[in-house]
């Protein structure tokens, strides 16, 4: 692992790092915010998964998370949104598939399966690397995300019960098998069989896997992607049917932007801090 940069922020440090990833078969970048309290011992860690077209710096630069993370004593880990070193035909042809659009899944279709294994990267490889190099408490781990990253956070938790103690999302893609973004990405990463897609759909997963704590979702009511792509009502119905506790906050007048995220991020981080002790 190599440090690319480091900056002081709210009494802590924000660093950008690169390392050779086995899961993604390439070098990957990620950023980490360490609060001042991390100098005294191991502290809880929250993984922040960004959305389409973003990278490892987007959450750090746009969300304004450092101040509250410093106060609460949380390490924040922000991975990149896809492998970038191995080019594939068409990976830059559109903004919602390929580069910066991994959907945090483990692809099974060639050629994507060789390096688009972001689920394994986010849930296994990167946490192990963080525990090795940073004062992160392995028993106090949460995950959150925005849009595509919100989908990634929900799926990461539901496919790995017990791995996280807290999970939240801003405007997540709740039912990717039933929306154009998800259908396009899943056909590319998994092939044309819709049954194979269901293993990466939070609305499908929550019907058979429940977590022992409430999930939190915030969604803006004027989000232009709400009806076509995000579909929180489907996830809410699936949670109600299965008994999974869900806190769904519909925020009147807010959209899909980081202005929305910045407004409610403190509530999310306090939710994680309370769950992580």
Specify whether 147 is catalytic.
yes
- Taking a C-beta distance cutoff of 8 angstroms, is the pair 199, 214 a contact? no
- Taking a C-beta distance cutoff of 8 angstroms, is the pair 178, 234 a contact? yes
Among residues 80, 201, 218, 223, which one is catalytic?
Answer: 223
Specify whether 193 is catalytic.
no
Q: In what order do the strands lie in the sheet with 136-146?
A: 2-9, 12-21, 26-34, 75-79, 43-49, 136-146, 166-170, 215-220, 246-251
Spatial CA neighbour of 155 closest among 101, 215, 205? 205
CA 179 to CA 203: how far, in whole Å?
A: 12
Among residues 14, 66, 151, 256, which one is catalytic?
Answer: 256
Among residues 147, 166, 218, 268, which one is catalytic?
Answer: 147
Specify whether 106 is catalytic.
no
Give me 256's structure tokens: 């899909």
CA 125 to CA 1: how far, in whole Å?
A: 13
CA 58 to CA 79: how far, in whole Å?
A: 10
Q: Which residues are catalytic?
A: 147, 223, 256
């Amino acid at each position: 692992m190599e440090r690319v940069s480091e900056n002081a922020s709210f009494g802590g440090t924000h660093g950008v790092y690169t390392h050779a990833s086995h899961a993604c078969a390439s070098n990957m970048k990620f950023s980490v915010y360490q609060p001042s309290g991390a100098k005294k011992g191991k502290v809880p860690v929250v993984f922040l998964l960004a959305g389409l077209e973003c990278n490892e710096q987007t959450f750090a630069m746009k969300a304004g998370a450092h101040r509250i993370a410093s106060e609460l004593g949380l390490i924040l880990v922000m991975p990149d949104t896809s492998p970038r070193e191995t080019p594939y035909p068409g990976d830059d042809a559109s903004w919602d598939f390929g580069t910066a659009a991994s959907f945090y899944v483990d692809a099974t279709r060639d050629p994507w399966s060789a390096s688009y294994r972001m689920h394994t990267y986010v849930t296994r490889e990167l946490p192990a690397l963080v525990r090795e190099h940073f004062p992160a408490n392995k028993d106090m781990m949460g995950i959150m995300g925005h849009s595509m990253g919100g989908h990634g956070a929900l799926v990461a938790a539901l496919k790995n019960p017990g791995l996280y103690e807290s999970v939240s999302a801003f405007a997540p893609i709740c039912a990717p098998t039933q929306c154009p973004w998800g259908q396009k990405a899943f056909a590319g990463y998994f092939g044309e069989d819709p049954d194979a897609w269901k293993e990466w759909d939070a609305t499908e997963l929550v019907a058979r896997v429940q977590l022992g704590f409430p999930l939190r979702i915030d969604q803006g009511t004027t989000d232009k992607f709400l009806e076509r792509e995000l579909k929180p009502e489907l996830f809410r119905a699936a949670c109600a049917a299965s008994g999974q506790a869900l806190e769904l906050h519909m925020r009147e007048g807010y959209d899909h932007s980081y202005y929305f995220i910045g407004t409610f991020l403190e509530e999310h981080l306090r939710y994680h801090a309370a769950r992580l002790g």
